[in-house]
Amino acid sequence: MMVWNGGPETLAPLLHSRVRWVQIGSAGIENWLASGIIDDSRTWMCGTAIYSEPVAEHAMALILAGRRRLAECARATGWDPTLVGLPLHGCVVLIVGAGGIGTALIRMLAPFGATSVAVTRSAREVANATRSASADALTELWGEADIVVLAAPATSASHRIVNARTLAAMREHVLLVNVARGALVDTDALVDALRHDRVGGAALDATDPEPLPAGHPLWTDPRVLITPHTANPVALRTELLARRVTENVQAIVGGRTPASIIEPARGY
Amino acid sequence: MMVWNGGPETLAPLLHSRVRWVQIGSAGIENWLASGIIDDSRTWMCGTAIYSEPVAEHAMALILAGRRRLAECARATGWDPTLVGLPLHGCVVLIVGAGGIGTALIRMLAPFGATSVAVTRSAREVANATRSASADALTELWGEADIVVLAAPATSASHRIVNARTLAAMREHVLLVNVARGALVDTDALVDALRHDRVGGAALDATDPEPLPAGHPLWTDPRVLITPHTANPVALRTELLARRVTENVQAIVGGRTPASIIEPARGY
């Protein structure tokens, strides 16, 4: 078994034909699939759900910052009593992609008295969610959310799932939170929706393009907070990957199926 | 019974001698006690614990923003990948004043895997806290906290409880969060500690003086986030006060003791 915490380009020349198992550190693997290195000659395992807790924690930080208008407070250089936020309590939080991150997020949301609607491709019952739904139901669900959290892998199905049409279906005060990949959002459509006050705000840990260029209107919109793809802080990454490697080696040695085997056909 | 959501000066000329019960909306009552209007001729009830949930929610927003460096991200006008935060997971959170706000905060902290140390005057066991301690134990506890949250009433005992001496006892990376009253912090000592990198940062919903004047160094320190005393958003205030009035009227009519009777001797 080989453990690799870099990208596909640097691994290719090093990959011996007799390596049967490869554990990569990344959770999102769209660039691995695009590189063509992932084939059926061995078993590939990715970092899905390894980093769920820190990423869900970052989503909570962005949700609360958005509701409480903390970006505007941070930019203020004097006392402005009009910078009054709104509570998270009582909000409907639509979680698009309720895998590891979404499941952890639902647990963190519970004590705040928020309603969580968990959307998965399979519409399976997500633990502790107020309601579970399929991606097909999104057409109806966009309009029910106070907060939309994107936590789905970047696939062809999720590509620009937030676009002009779906933004138009959302409530005017909606807060959009992206802790997944920039490709899930049509950035120009988001800028346009903000310009016309058709959304309340956005808190984005991932953008398209990434990095977002200096001078882009999202940098200075008072309703927008951008973090530089830091939902999963370095401080925890190695420790969490090591834990997964240990578990997967034990599974393989014990004849069990390791976690997060990549299935190229579904895209994650 | 009279319900009053203003200050003591405007109530005084309206207060009929036969009013036996007065419910005021404020949770912090130091200015009511100072005004001298509160006496033994009737029962006074304040807003303690009415607004615990929204204020605890704001404390969570400030804690997560501080750990995740959201104020610096909000001020950035370009992509800066060095703005990497730290997780809340695994932190020791010292809660000074574990009344209604502290108790709600402990519940919200639980799913994040943080350790909560609850300090009260009486050292009573606080529900769900990892550890409960008395104010006397603070001498030792300052140095154990990654995050210090001030949630105590403003009394002579809590006045400037965060000062040059106690700041010096804290860890260098400590995040100070104040959702109580500005008087609990010696502002000049905090500025000095920040200047010498002896604390990690501060997130303050209350300041001394309040409002903090334009040009004050706390406005522009990258490690500091200030919200303008908005922990308890207007959106919920009236609804929550109305709920308490209902409960207290039912208690009085039913011959029970209403909640949050003011005891001038203890200061809250």
**What does each C-alpha distance from A129 to A99, A111, B144 come to in angstroms?**
12, 13, 35
CA nearest A78 in B: which residue?
B214
Q: Do B70 and A225 touch (CB under 8 A)?
A: yes
Q: Specify whether the CB–CB gap between B242 and B22 falls below 8 A.
A: no
CA nearest A218 in B: which residue?
B77
Which pLDDT score, from 0 to 100, does residue B209 have?
A: 98
Tokens 């500091």 locate to B224
Q: Is the pLDDT at A47 greater than 90, yes or no?
A: no
Q: Who contacts B261 (Cβ-Cβ below 8 Å, separation ≥6)?
A: B43, B44, B45
Which pLDDT score, from 0 to 100, does residue B45 have?
A: 93
The pTM of the full predicted model, rounded to 2 decimals, is: 0.90
Distance CA B60, CA B53 (A): 11
Average confidence (pLDDT) over A91-115: 96
- pLDDT single digits (tens) B194-205: 999 999 999 999
Which of B72, B75, B233 lies closest to A84 in CB terms? B233
CA nearest B82 in A: which residue?
A228
The active-site residue out of A58, A69, A181, A244 is A181
Would you place residue B48 in the very low, low, confident or very high pLDDT band (cuts 50, 70, 90)?
A: confident
Site from B53, B73, B147, B173 to mutate, A interface, most A CB atoms within 10 angstroms: B73
**What does each C-alpha distance from A247 to A45, A187, A233, B23 come to in angstroms?**
12, 38, 22, 58
Would you place residue B128 in the very low, low, confident or very high pLDDT band (cuts 50, 70, 90)?
A: very high
Pair of tokens at residue A103? 């499941």
E strand map for chain B: 2-4, 21-24, 43-45, 92-96, 115-120, 131-134, 147-150, 175-178, 201-204, 224-226
CA nearest B106 in A: which residue?
A111
Which pLDDT score, from 0 to 100, does residue A246 have?
A: 93
Active site residue A89: no
Average confidence (pLDDT) over B1-27: 91
Would you place residue A238 in the very low, low, confident or very high pLDDT band (cuts 50, 70, 90)?
A: confident
Q: Who contacts A169 (Cβ-Cβ below 8 Å, separation ≥6)?
A: A139, A142, A143
Distance CA A257, CA A253 (A): 10
Confirm or reject contact between B259 and chain A (CB < 8 A): no
Tokens 């709920």 locate to B243
Q: Is the pLDDT at A126 greater than 80, yes or no?
A: yes
The neighbour count for residue A40, using CB atoms within 10 Å, is: 7
Distance CA B23, CA B3 (A): 5
Which pLDDT score, from 0 to 100, does residue A40 have?
A: 87
**What does each C-alpha distance from B196 to A3, B26, B192, B199, B215 come to in angstroms?**
42, 37, 6, 8, 20
Distance CA A143, CA A195 (A): 19
Active site residue A144: no
Average confidence (pLDDT) over A238-248: 90
Q: Do B89 and A54 touch (CB under 8 A)?
A: yes
A235 interaction partners in chain B (CB closer than 8 Å): 86-87
Q: Do B65 and A60 touch (CB under 8 A)?
A: no
Q: Is the pLDDT at A26 greater than 90, yes or no?
A: no
Which pLDDT score, from 0 to 100, does residue B154 have?
A: 94
Average confidence (pLDDT) over A247-257: 93
Average confidence (pLDDT) over B147-167: 96
Q: Is the pLDDT at A162 greater than 90, yes or no?
A: yes
Which pLDDT score, from 0 to 100, does residue B58 have?
A: 98
Which of A77, A112, A220 lies closest to B214 in CB terms? A77
Alpha-carbon distance A67 to nearest alpha carbon in chain B (angstroms)? 9
- A159-163, A253-257, B208-212: range with lowest mean pLDDT: A253-257
What is the interface pTM, i.e. ipTM, of the complex? 0.89
Looking at chain A from residue 56 to 115, which residues have their Cβ under 8 Å from any Cβ of chain B?
Answer: 57-58, 60-62, 64-65, 67-68, 70-81, 83-89, 107-108, 110-113
Which pLDDT score, from 0 to 100, does residue A185 have?
A: 98
Q: Is the pLDDT at A173 greater than 90, yes or no?
A: yes
Q: Is the pLDDT at B47 greater than 90, yes or no?
A: no
Which pLDDT score, from 0 to 100, does residue B234 have?
A: 75
Q: Residue type for B175, please?
A: L
Q: Specify whether the CB–CB gap between A209 and A182 falls below 8 A.
A: yes
The CA radius of gyration of chain A, in Å to the nearest whole number, is: 19
Which pLDDT score, from 0 to 100, does residue B40 have?
A: 87
Q: Is the pLDDT at B159 greater than 90, yes or no?
A: yes
Average confidence (pLDDT) over A214-221: 97
Which pLDDT score, from 0 to 100, does residue A39 have?
A: 87
What sign results for the dihedral spanned by CA atoms A67, A69, A71, A73?
Answer: negative
- pLDDT single digits (tens) A178-193: 999 999 999 999 999 9
User: What separation, in Å, do the N-terminal and C-terminal C-alpha atoms of chain A show?
Assistant: 20
**What does each C-alpha distance from A196 to A227, B65, B84, B159 come to in angstroms?**
24, 28, 32, 48
Which pLDDT score, from 0 to 100, does residue A156 have?
A: 93
Which of A113, A228, A236 lies closest to B81 in CB terms? A228
Which of B77, B211, B234 lies closest to A79 in CB terms? B211
As a whole number, the mean pLDDT across chain B is 94
- pLDDT single digits (tens) B220-253: 999 999 999 999 877 778 888 999 999 999 999 9
Would you place residue B266 in the very low, low, confident or very high pLDDT band (cuts 50, 70, 90)?
A: confident
A243 interaction partners in chain B (CB closer than 8 Å): none
Distance CA A177, CA A194 (A): 14
Looking at chain B from residue 10 to 29, which residues have their Cβ under 8 Å from any Cβ of chain A?
Answer: none
The proportion of chain A whose per-residue pLDDT surpasses 70, expressed as a percent, equals 100
The active-site residue out of B210, B223, B237, B247 is B210
Which pLDDT score, from 0 to 100, does residue B177 have?
A: 98
Q: Do A84 and B225 touch (CB under 8 A)?
A: no
Distance CA B18, CA B116 (A): 46
Which pLDDT score, from 0 to 100, does residue B142 have?
A: 98
The active-site residue out of B198, B216, B229, B237 is B229
Which pLDDT score, from 0 to 100, does residue A120 have?
A: 95
Q: Is the pLDDT at B260 greater than 80, yes or no?
A: yes
Which pLDDT score, from 0 to 100, does residue B26 have?
A: 87
- pLDDT single digits (tens) B50-86: 889 999 999 999 999 999 999 999 999 999 999 999 9
Active site residue A243: no
As a whole number, the mean pLDDT across chain A is 94
Q: Is the pLDDT at A234 greater than 80, yes or no?
A: no
CA nearest B110 in A: which residue?
A108
Which of A89, A214, A227 lies closest to B57 in CB terms? A89
Which pLDDT score, from 0 to 100, does residue B67 have?
A: 98
Q: Residue type for B256, please?
A: R
Which pLDDT score, from 0 to 100, does residue A266 have?
A: 81
Q: Who contacts B237 (Cβ-Cβ below 8 Å, separation ≥6)?
A: B25, B51
